[in-house]
Chains A and B, each alone.
Chain A
Amino acid sequence: MSRLQQRFSALKQANRAALVTFVTGGDPDYATSLAILKGLPEAGADVIELGMPFTDPMADGPAIQLANIRALNNKQTLAKTLQMVREFREGNTDTPLVLMGYFNPIHHYGVDKFISEAKAAGVDGLIVVDLPPEHNDDLCAPAQAAGIDFIRLTTPTTDDKRLPTVLNGSSGFVYYVSVAGVTGAGAATLEHVEEAHARLRRHTDLPVCIGFGIRTPEHAAQIAKRAEGVVVGSALVDQIANAESPTQAIDGVLGLCQQLAEGVRNARL
């Protein structure tokens, strides 16, 4: 059983949703980012998404765009992001970690080399925003063959006709982007989220994690009543943007993570 499967099945037993946290690797710098990453499980993150910085994050809003710029300005590279995962795994073997980003840095690194190094580092899954199922051969198929899950985004525009195409080859969990838009944009209504979750349920048995525009413990708790997971990114990344020192950045992210975790853990009580 993969780490993602283990985690989601344990959470199902415990009757609660997963808190899925996103931060960008190397934001604002390698050491601070690694400290945040290492602190997340204890602060209540059940699944970690680690962003691989890219100069042209076309699907991201201002918060994550700036996170990418901060990381790249401090010389973060794909090789260093993989190194962060290795260092994280020295102290944690049970929290699933998913790398998220855009295809070009992986394409440039070499798909085979990337997959084998990611697997060895302890990466459990990949989310690559600009690789739709039409391009499964590029990365999805070889990654899954190597035992790395490939997590797909589904969106409000992914209709019933297209959903099977998107879900075919999905593994780990399904990420539902609750608003058509960039990361950090306005939130969807609860009604929309419930409807979308029910629709996805009809098509797949995979856990459904819902993200985009979720910023507060209260909001996270609402989503966590239904969904198998709640994804928070921009709000955490904003803690780094607003910090005046590395310590503040670490405390800010982990502090918010604790509050979010509390919201998620109490949602179904």
Chain B
Amino acid sequence: MNTSLRAGPDARGLFGSFGGQYVAETLMPLIHDLAAEYEKAKDDPAFIEELAYFQRDYVGRPSPLYFAERLTEQCGGAKIYFKREELNHTGAHKINNCIGQILLAKRMGKKRIIAETGAGMHGVATATVAARFGMECVVYMGTTDIDRQQANVFRMKLLGATVIPVTAGTGTLKDAMNEALRDWVTNVETTFYLIGTVAGPHPYPAMVRDFQAVIGKETRAQLHEKEGRLPDSLVACIGGGSNAMGLFHPFLDDQSVQIIGVEAAGYGIETGKHAASLNGGIPGVLHGNRTFLLQDDDGQIIDAHSISAGLDYPGIGPEHAWLHDIGRVQYTSITDHEALEAFHTCCRLEGIIPALESSHALAEAFKRAPTLPKDHLMVINLSGRGDKDMQTVMHHMQQTAEKH
């Protein structure tokens, strides 16, 4: 028996009792094809080489591991490093996965790419790779998210993608994913569904994780070069959980490394207005996988809330659900307010404008760092940059000013 925590999922796509392939029959043959094709591709030297080429020359990898000196001083405890995923082409970790999946789509002879997006970062990254590989691109985006992420909507259009507004539900990521699944079921022969996070039916959670694991692999090598050892803790924000899984996965078997995932607590878990599936949800089945979900007494899905559109999802990747279940990763939560404070602190002290998503990880790290010894090495995944969030942050600063 393989006791490695990195061995999952099993042949049925399960991590413990989480994951699986809970989709309509129309999609099943395609999902099996995709899984088989991915198994072949991931061991194919030509595929590996092409992926490495695009990661280096197009995405700009490796991303730096940066010693955040002034934040470290301010916190007065742990030595804080940032994994600079916000420096990637298109401004977030999302492109790591998109490059991988578009190369797979090309291998499978697909010409049409669809995607769902919340904050728009995955939509932009998908539109980017679709442009680069000359494929048609359709992005589903909730109307609430379109309103708060207009710059990204414009970017997707510039890149030649069609952005389809989704009015169902609260017009956020969950509704966009439903609509993308409906498109897929309708255009199953021609279309590749480029899922943006470590969720959905198998093989997506494992495949997206593998493409994102470059984050953790680089971190391991870079920290070894700088400090000669493993980190003591890792901190990353979690919506669906792809940036976190990418950082965490290569370290899961290193028991000395404390791993912390940060969910979005919105207005506070106790208010019910949050996006913390693990801290405020229970197991259920949605969007192709069994995982922790925000749901009511009748098993109806509850809309998530977070200031950050990228975390605004009522579920979480199944591998996180399992890691939570077995206790390997500790999952905490940070409110909108705490995330905004951390956002400002990072801007002023490090000259880096982080995404509101990543600001959740920063806020958690700022709580922990002061209590830790100076030789504690902490890595925060700076998963995206905050340019897209200017409108939201301005709006909140105005509201705060009016209150005072």
Could you list which residues of chain A lie within 8 angstroms of chain B, going by C-beta atoms? Answer: 53-61, 65, 72, 77-79, 102-109, 129-132, 134-135, 152-159, 162, 166, 177, 180-182, 185
The reply to whether B182 and A158 contact each other, CB–CB distance below 8 Å, is no
The residue on B at minimum CB distance from A54 is B300
Is B151 interfacial (CB 8 A cutoff)? Answer: no
A-B CB proximity, top 9 nearest: A108-B299, A105-B299, A181-B186, A155-B26, A77-B298, A59-B24, A55-B300, A130-B22, A55-B301
Answer whether A134 and B20 are a contact pair too, CB < 8 Å, given A105-B300, A107-B299, A177-B25: yes
Q: Which of A108, A153, A177 contacts B295 (CB 8 A)?
A: A108
Q: Which of A104, A109, A180 contacts B285 (CB 8 A)?
A: A104
Residues in A neighbouring B182, C-beta threshold 8 A:
58-61, 182
Can you offer 13 A-B residue contacts whose CB atoms are under 8 A? A58-B182, A103-B285, A104-B285, A107-B284, A131-B22, A134-B21, A134-B28, A153-B26, A156-B26, A157-B26, A157-B188, A157-B189, A158-B28
Could you list which residues of chain B lie within 8 angstroms of chain A, going by C-beta atoms? Answer: 12, 20-30, 168-169, 174, 178, 181-182, 185-189, 282-288, 290, 293, 295, 297-301
Answer whether A58 and B285 are a contact pair too, CB < 8 Å, given A108-B299, A129-B24, A130-B24: no
The residue on A at minimum CB distance from B293 is A104
A109→B27 CA distance, assembly (Å): 26
Residues in A neighbouring B28, C-beta threshold 8 A:
132, 134, 157-158, 162
The reply to whether B21 and A58 contact each other, CB–CB distance below 8 Å, is no
A141 to chain B, nearest CB (A): 15
The residue on A at minimum CB distance from B20 is A135
- Of listed A152, A153, A182, residue having the most chain B CB within 10 A: A182
The residue on B at minimum CB distance from A186 is B186
The reply to whether A103 and B22 contact each other, CB–CB distance below 8 Å, is yes
The reply to whether A65 and B168 contact each other, CB–CB distance below 8 Å, is yes
Residues in A neighbouring B169, C-beta threshold 8 A:
55-56
B144 to chain A, nearest CB (A): 16
A104→B21 CA distance, assembly (Å): 14
B12 to chain A, nearest CB (A): 6
Answer whether A107 and B285 are a contact pair too, CB < 8 Å, given A61-B182, A131-B22: yes
Residues in B neighbouring A134, C-beta threshold 8 A:
12, 20-21, 28
The residue on A at minimum CB distance from B25 is A153
A73 to chain B, nearest CB (A): 11
The residue on B at minimum CB distance from A65 is B168
A113 to chain B, nearest CB (A): 12
A56→B286 CA distance, assembly (Å): 8
Residues in B neighbouring A182, C-beta threshold 8 A:
182, 185-186
Residues in A neighbouring B282, C-beta threshold 8 A:
108
- Of listed A53, A106, A130, A131, residue having the most chain B CB within 10 A: A130
Main secondary structure of the interface of B (DSSP, over half): mixed
The reply to whether B24 and A58 contact each other, CB–CB distance below 8 Å, is yes
Main secondary structure of the interface of A (DSSP, over half): loop
The reply to whether A104 and B25 contact each other, CB–CB distance below 8 Å, is no
A132→B23 CA distance, assembly (Å): 7
Answer whether A158 and B189 are a contact pair too, CB < 8 Å, given A78-B299, A108-B298: no
The residue on B at minimum CB distance from A159 is B29
Answer whether A180 and B12 are a contact pair too, CB < 8 Å, given A61-B182, A104-B285, A105-B299: no
Residues in A neighbouring B188, C-beta threshold 8 A:
157, 180
Q: Which of B29, B168, B286, B298 contacts A157 (CB 8 A)?
A: B29
A152→B298 CA distance, assembly (Å): 24
The reply to whether A58 and B29 contact each other, CB–CB distance below 8 Å, is no
A157→B178 CA distance, assembly (Å): 20
Residues in A neighbouring B20, C-beta threshold 8 A:
134-135
A124→B293 CA distance, assembly (Å): 30
B32 to chain A, nearest CB (A): 8
A53→B298 CA distance, assembly (Å): 10
The reply to whether A56 and B301 contact each other, CB–CB distance below 8 Å, is yes
The reply to whether A58 and B299 contact each other, CB–CB distance below 8 Å, is no
A159→B295 CA distance, assembly (Å): 36
B281 to chain A, nearest CB (A): 11
The reply to whether B25 and A135 contact each other, CB–CB distance below 8 Å, is no
The reply to whether B299 and A180 contact each other, CB–CB distance below 8 Å, is no
A248→B387 CA distance, assembly (Å): 53
The residue on B at minimum CB distance from A177 is B26
The reply to whether A104 and B23 contact each other, CB–CB distance below 8 Å, is no
A213 to chain B, nearest CB (A): 12
Answer whether A132 and B21 are a contact pair too, CB < 8 Å, given A55-B169, A104-B285: yes
A16 to chain B, nearest CB (A): 27
The reply to whether B299 and A56 contact each other, CB–CB distance below 8 Å, is no
Answer whether A157 and B284 are a contact pair too, CB < 8 Å, given A54-B300, A59-B185: no
A154→B185 CA distance, assembly (Å): 13
Answer whether A104 and B286 are a contact pair too, CB < 8 Å, given A55-B301, A59-B185, A180-B189: yes
Residues in B neighbouring A102, C-beta threshold 8 A:
285
Residues in A neighbouring B301, C-beta threshold 8 A:
55-56, 104
- Of listed A65, A77, A102, A157, residue having the most chain B CB within 10 A: A157
Residues in A neighbouring B288, C-beta threshold 8 A:
130
Residues in A neighbouring B290, C-beta threshold 8 A:
107
The residue on B at minimum CB distance from A185 is B186
The residue on A at minimum CB distance from B24 is A59
Answer whether A157 and B299 are a contact pair too, CB < 8 Å, given A55-B169, A58-B181, A104-B286: no
B124 to chain A, nearest CB (A): 25
The reply to whether A158 and B185 contact each other, CB–CB distance below 8 Å, is no
Given contacts A54-B300, A129-B24, 11 further A-B contacts (CB under 8 A): A53-B300, A57-B178, A104-B284, A104-B285, A104-B295, A104-B299, A109-B298, A153-B25, A157-B188, A162-B29, A180-B186
B15 to chain A, nearest CB (A): 15
Residues in B neighbouring A55, C-beta threshold 8 A:
169, 300-301
The residue on B at minimum CB distance from A57 is B178
The residue on B at minimum CB distance from A182 is B182
B37 to chain A, nearest CB (A): 16
Residues in B neighbouring A54, C-beta threshold 8 A:
299-300
The reply to whether A56 and B178 contact each other, CB–CB distance below 8 Å, is yes
The residue on B at minimum CB distance from A175 is B25
